[in-house]
Structure 1
Amino acid sequence: MITSRTWVLMAISFGVIAAFFVLREHWTHVLGLAPYLLLMACPLMHLFHGHSGHEGHHHHDREDRKP
């Protein structure tokens, strides 16, 4: 009997193989989109990252200063 883990591994394997063949045939188109993907990464990182990472360092400093 095939378990759900096997189905997931088969789906991931199929996706990797399909992505390989699609990228192989359309590599120039993908490279043409690379600058736009890089520009889109900046606002998306700011949107999803938030500011909790910056505040986390300050909280540790304040806790260390307590007597």
Structure 2
Amino acid sequence: LHHFTTIRRADDDEVVATGEHMMLHVDTVAGKSSPAAPEVLAKLEALAAHHAALPRPQHAGRFVGQPRG
């Protein structure tokens, strides 16, 4: 699940923070990522379909990190 959040200041709607996250469903018994239960997956697919019509956030996909070397 790729999640991007924008926090805006209430009085002027200026962006004051953003956060971008990748989330995985993890089977804690197996200790690795695993498919979500069908009922969870159905809800996520419905949410993804709704969000597909929204514009992509301007800064989504950028990264913070140190150069390799």
TM-score (norm 1): 0.34
* Greater relative contact order structure (CA < 8 Å, 6+ sep): 2
When you count helix as a share of all residues, which structure comes out higher?
Answer: 1
When you count strand as a share of all residues, which structure comes out higher?
Answer: 2
Q: Give the structure with higher Rg (CA).
A: 1
TM-score (norm 2): 0.34
